[in-house]
Amino acid sequence: MKRIAFGAVYKPEPEGGYSAFCPELGVASQGETIEEAGANLKEAVELYLESARELGILEWILEEALENLKEAIELYIEDEDAEVPPWRMMPIVTK
């Protein structure tokens, strides 16, 4: 079984709790704590990839995720005034 790591961006929400977002796949979730948001995001990503596998589009999804990541890095490098967002970046690993 292959393991794949994706990025996760965590942001505190004004009403409490945290939102979690996987920028490569466009998948999001939330939780009362960072840990809960991360666990919920991991589950959401796993379900998303499982559905893609069942539909026969997993390879395409992963190729798109890589392109999204490359584009984001290029845009960040090109923008000399880009600020690092005040969020935490943590990897999520799926099977």
Range of the domain at 60: 4-94
Phi (first) and psi of residue 22, to 5 degrees: -100, 100
70/95: higher pLDDT? 70
Look at residue 76 in the predicted model and tell me its pLDDT.
58
Look at residue 87 in the predicted model and tell me its pLDDT.
52
Phi (first) and psi of residue 44, to 5 degrees: -65, -40
Looking at the structure of the chain, the number of domains it has is: 1
Look at residue 29 in the predicted model and tell me its pLDDT.
96
Beta strand spans in the chain (E): 4-12, 18-22, 27-31, 88-94
CA atoms of 23 and 84, how far apart (whole Å): 15
Name the pLDDT band for 89 (thresholds 50, 70, 90).
low
pLDDT tens digits, 9-62: 888 899 999 999 988 899 999 999 999 999 999 999 999 999 999 999 999 999
